Structure 1
Amino acid sequence: MQKNPQTEKPIRIAQIIGKAVISGVDSVVMNYYRHIDKSRVQFDFFMDGYNPSLLDEEILDLGGRVIKLEAYEKSMYKNIKDCRAAFEKKRYTIVHSHLNTLSVFPLYAAYRSGVPVRIAHSHSTTSRGEFTRNLMKQALRPFSKTFATHYAACADYTARWLFGTKAVKQGKVRLIQNAVDTSRFFPDTAAGKRIRKEFKLENRFIIGHIGRFAYQKNHELLVRAFAEVYKKNPNTALVLIGTGELETDVRRLVKELGIEQAVIFTGLRRDIPDFLNAFDVFFLPSRYEGLPVVGMEAQAVGLPCLMSDAVTKDTAVTPLVEFFPLTAAVGEWADKLLTYKNREKRTYPDLLRKSGFEIKHEAEELCRWYEDLQKSAAR
């Protein structure tokens, strides 16, 4: 296809991703950005917080821009003001917000700035146990479509939750899969061995988790279950990748349980494929999930996955995924984890591709959608 005929330059899309934590939403958007045709479409990333992130350099190298905003929890007024200033200066045609119910705020800024195409994207729903967060989500949900001109979602049920069944049935919500870059995520024994050697984990049974330290991810169950595993098999290690508001609490629990010697906190890492190749099982006991991209990445490298039954079943595009009751006792979780020792790894590339989770095809589809939206806005 031709470049945008209006300018003969790539269409610039303002991508509102919130915090850059190298997992979840920002990981999904980056996967698409790496593979989209940048002669036709470019991304500018709007991030909460002024500190540098691990994504900044890569974004700039690929021709994108990084726009830092005041974190919304510190000042929503300043966050919206920062958005409006950037929208008006760069004169975007399309703003794509990935903040679920909170998208109402940047899309309001886009509306006030005269941006003609404003996309609200649903990545998750609510969960029992997060009263304050759920209250905010439910309060904002009726306004989620107020300033949006188009809707998108990672899965059918997240689309229905935010935009309503009627909108889904009428075909008003575009499904954008949390697609995987199979050129980065593939079986790599050497990479796995490098990670094991770096962290002195040779010949250990490694349980791995990748995700933000937040209520949703259920690190308390994760750590307590591992503690029971460790009692039965001291030749076991738990690797936790990520950062977040509950990291201090999780570290305290690890110390209380006396398992510091067997638990590794890596912080944020860019070599996620290498870690997935080092793990023996990927453990995701979340209290709720939209469609976890890291679950797709784990399947792409052939890694067995144990997830809570609160994770959407759409995640299981291969036989590698097994769901276990969130209500099960800690000891039951531990016994289940131990069944993964010496479990065979196997890839299912055809299943990933047929399920629509291969990034190259999906990136081209997204590129065409943006071009169609640009053309419609220019009429």
Structure 2
Amino acid sequence: MTDKRGGVESFIMNATGMIDPSRVSFDYIVNTDVVAYEEELAGQGSKIIHVPMRAKHPIAFTRVIDRFFLENAHKYDAIWVNVCSLANIDYLRYAKKYGIPKRIIHCHNSQNMDSKLRGMLHEHNKKRITEYATDYWSCSDEASAWFYGDAIRNLSTYKVINNAIDPQKFVFNPTIREKMRESLKIDDALLIGNVGRLHKQKNQCFLIDAFRLLHEHIPNARLVIAGQGELRGQLQKKIDDCGLNEEIILLGELTNTADFYQALDLFAFPSLYEGLSIALLEAQANGLPSIISTGNPQNAVVNSNVHRIAIDDAAKWADLMRHELTHEGRVQTSENRIIGSDFDINTQSSFMETFFEKAGKRV
């Protein structure tokens, strides 16, 4: 968990929220002062253990986590480390040192999204991850190729845990749609949406370029980008330079994505790379026609109105967005393939509940 309501945080909340708390309970080690969903987690009876951030306070980090595991490891049956790279595997190292029997590493991305140094640390730790982890989970086989390499994918303790959502929360609701569009002051505009951290990986600069071309043909088109991140200033400058301040909205971080999708007419997701996006699953659960990049894995395409194309030409994206806005529509709930699929959280949570409960039955 970080202080952002991102994909990993959403996945954890979706997964643990469906697990019976009388059978399995979770505590959280975090390295930010405030953590996303902290009130919800506390309401579930979870403890939030705050530790220093290793990158900023390496000595304090080592001292605090060593003491924590020394004093508390005997209370826990498993540690489940959800990360986008192997740059820091210290939680697993200390869990092993102090005797936590089940140690799961869970992959959530398919490329290095951080600094060159963290990329080097990832490659270094990839060679020794089997010294510390007992189980290897991943959001997709495609992501595992970078995260783990081929050898681990052949182990019996390797498993793909599909990112999953509760699709019933996102079913299309025309009443909510009307209210959301009123709050966004959209009126009769055709609305394109994007959800994601404002980061190079999510490629929102490309989306703005494509939208600028689209707007020349559909003047009542609007683009709303939901999320926070380090590129907010750069994106706003690009919007200013394009003269599209009235047509493109940087909405900031959402606390309720389910209602946001109701307002949209099209979901656009040109990421450079993805493990398997929660936002894309949510958009499909709402039935939205979606245009996504080939940086998304093929198995992320579930519904028939999702189009996966390269990000080599903004004009192609503009043309396809134009077509989808004027020809395509939401799939009907009865035709929505997310419901009851492997991306339905009810399917994934049953496995995890059984796994963790079994881990708690020590001989």
> Is the TM value for this pair above 0.5?
yes
Alpha-carbon distance in structure 2 between the residues aligned to 1:211 and 1:81: 34
Partner in structure 2 of residue 3 of structure 1: none
In the TM superposition, residue 40 of structure 1 has moved relative to its aligned partner by 0.7
Alpha-carbon distance in structure 2 between the residues aligned to 1:285 and 1:113: 43
Q: In the alignment, does 2:204 pair up with 1:219?
A: yes
Alpha-carbon distance in structure 2 between the residues aligned to 1:103 and 1:353: 36
CA contact (8 A) 1:206 1:236 kept: yes
Alpha-carbon distance in structure 2 between the residues aligned to 1:188 and 1:225: 29
Match for 2:41: what amino acid? I
Partner in structure 2 of residue 31 of structure 1: 14
Larger mean Cα displacement after TM superposition, 343-352 or 266-275? 343-352
Alpha-carbon distance in structure 2 between the residues aligned to 1:31 and 1:313: 23
Relative to 1, partners in 2 of residues 1:181 and 1:295: Cα closer, same or farther, differing over 3 Å?
same
Larger mean Cα displacement after TM superposition, 197-206 or 74-83? 74-83
Aligned pair partner of 2:147 in 153, 162, 166: 162
SS at match of 1:98: strand
In the TM superposition, residue 299 of structure 1 has moved relative to its aligned partner by 0.8
CA contact (8 A) 2:79 2:92 kept: yes
Cα deviation, 1:64-89, whole Å, max 9, x if unaligned, reads 22223323432344344443344344
Q: Which runs of 5+ in 2 are unaligned?
A: none
Q: In the alignment, does 2:94 pair up with 1:112?
A: no
TM-score, normalised to structure 1, is 0.87
Match for 2:342: what amino acid? G
CA contact (8 A) 2:31 2:50 kept: yes
Relative to 1, partners in 2 of residues 1:258 and 1:129: Cα closer, same or farther, differing over 3 Å?
farther
Aligned pair partner of 1:364 in 346, 350, 358: 350
CA contact (8 A) 2:87 2:118 kept: no
Q: In the alignment, does 2:162 pair up with 1:150?
A: no
Q: In the alignment, does 2:74 pair up with 1:96?
A: no
CA contact (8 A) 2:111 2:143 kept: no
Q: In the alignment, does 2:194 pair up with 1:209?
A: yes
Partner in structure 2 of residue 10 of structure 1: none
Percent identity, aligned pairs only, is: 26
In the TM superposition, residue 266 of structure 1 has moved relative to its aligned partner by 1.9
Runs of 4+ in 1 over 4 A off after TM superposition: 127-133
Q: In the alignment, does 2:287 pair up with 1:339?
A: no
Cα deviation, 1:122-158, whole Å, max 9, x if unaligned, reads 1112269975554443333223333112111111222
Relative to 1, partners in 2 of residues 1:247 and 1:82: Cα closer, same or farther, differing over 3 Å?
farther
Partner in structure 2 of residue 68 of structure 1: 50
Alpha-carbon distance in structure 1 between the residues aligned to 2:92 and 2:166: 29
SS at match of 1:43: coil
Match for 1:69: what amino acid? V
Cα deviation, 1:167-197, whole Å, max 9, x if unaligned, reads 3233221221111112312111222222111
Larger mean Cα displacement after TM superposition, 76-85 or 217-226? 76-85
Partner in structure 2 of residue 189 of structure 1: 174
TM-score, normalised to structure 2, is 0.91
Relative to 1, partners in 2 of residues 1:40 and 1:324: Cα closer, same or farther, differing over 3 Å?
same
Relative to 1, partners in 2 of residues 1:57 and 1:303: Cα closer, same or farther, differing over 3 Å?
same
Alignment of 1:1-379 (within 5 A): 17=1, 19-50=2-33, 52-90=34-72, 91-99=75-83, 100-126=85-111, 134-327=119-312, 329-342=313-326, 343-346=328-331, 347=333, 351-353=337-339, 355-375=341-361, 378-379=362-363
Relative to 1, partners in 2 of residues 1:197 and 1:243: Cα closer, same or farther, differing over 3 Å?
same
Cα deviation, 1:332-369, whole Å, max 9, x if unaligned, reads 22122111214211136663245311112321211001
SS at match of 1:102: coil
- The number of equivalent residue pairs is 358
Alpha-carbon distance in structure 1 between the residues aligned to 2:76 and 2:12: 18
SS at match of 1:306: strand
SS at match of 2:352: helix
Match for 2:197: what amino acid? R
Q: Which runs of 5+ in 1 are unaligned?
A: 1-16
Relative to 1, partners in 2 of residues 1:181 and 1:130: Cα closer, same or farther, differing over 3 Å?
same
In the TM superposition, residue 46 of structure 1 has moved relative to its aligned partner by 2.4
Relative to 1, partners in 2 of residues 1:114 and 1:169: Cα closer, same or farther, differing over 3 Å?
closer
Alpha-carbon distance in structure 2 between the residues aligned to 1:283 and 1:117: 39
Relative to 1, partners in 2 of residues 1:109 and 1:129: Cα closer, same or farther, differing over 3 Å?
closer
CA contact (8 A) 1:104 1:146 kept: no
What is the aligned-residue RMSD (CA, Å)? 2.2
Relative to 1, partners in 2 of residues 1:349 and 1:93: Cα closer, same or farther, differing over 3 Å?
farther
